[in-house]
Amino acid sequence: AESAAARSVGAIDAPVSGGDVGARNATLSIMVGGREADVTEAWPLFELMGGTIVHQGDAGCGQHTKMVNQILVASTMLGISEGLLYARSAGLDGEKVLESVGGGAAGSWTITNLGPRILAGDHAPGFFVDHFLKDLSIALEEADSMGLDLPMLALARRFYAQASEKGLGSHGTQVLASLLVANHEGF
C-alpha cells in the first residue's frame, strides 16, 4: 500500500471464498482491504463477481480476513472428517447422519456441500489441497508473528501436508476425510 501511495496509485487486496463454482456463478464472498475511496471506485467490479462483498478496512485487512476463513474451514473440515470417521466406525448410515447433524448446530456450508461428496469418495477439487496447504502455512506464519498459538490450525496443516506428500495435492480439501480413514485402517 505504501509503495502504491508513493506512486499516487491506490492499493486494494480482495481475496475471495467460494471456489470455482462461486466464480462461475458470480456468488463469491469478497473480503476487501484498502482505502475507502479506492474500494468505492472498484466496487462495481466486485459486484460483477460476488454476492457478499465486505470492506474489512485498510489494505491487508482483506488478506487477514481470508486467513480467518481458511482457519475456520480447516477446523471445520477436521471436525467433519473425524465425525464421519466416528459415524462409520459406529456403523451409522452416513447420509442419515449428515441429514440429522446438518439441520442442527453442526450445520454448515461445508457439511451440506462437501459432506455428501466425502461419503461418495468424490475428491474433485473446489479448492486444491496444495493451495489450501499454502494458505494454512501463511496463516501459521502470521499467527506466529502475532504471538498466537493455534493448535487446530497446526494440526490441520499437518494433515494437509500429509495429504500432499501422499500425492493428493491436486484433490479437493475434502480428501482429508479419506486420509483419516486410511490412517485409521493402517494404509
Q: Tell me the pTM.
A: 0.90
Range 23-28, long-range pairs (CB < 8 A, 24+ positions): 23/49, 26/50, 26/51, 27/51, 28/52
CA 81 – CA 179 distance, rounded (Å)? 9
What pLDDT was estimated at residue 6?
77
Sketch out the chain's domains with CATH numbers.
2-59 (3.40.50.720), 64-184 (1.10.1040.10)
134 among known catalytic residues? no
What mean pLDDT is predicted for residues 96-116? Answer: 95
What pLDDT was estimated at residue 187?
44
Three-state DSSP class for residue 68: helix
Three-state DSSP class for residue 69: helix
Q: Which of 66, 96, 134, 166 is catalytic?
A: 66
**Residue 139 reports pLDDT greater than 80:** yes
Residue with cell 486467513: 67
HSE at residue 89, side-chain half, CA atoms within 13 A, is: 11
Question: Residue 9: which pLDDT band, with cuts at 50, 70 and 90?
Answer: confident
pLDDT in tens, 38-79: 999 999 999 999 999 999 999 999 999 999 999 999 999 999
Task: For the beta carbon of residue 28, count every other beta carbon within 10 angstroms.
Answer: 22
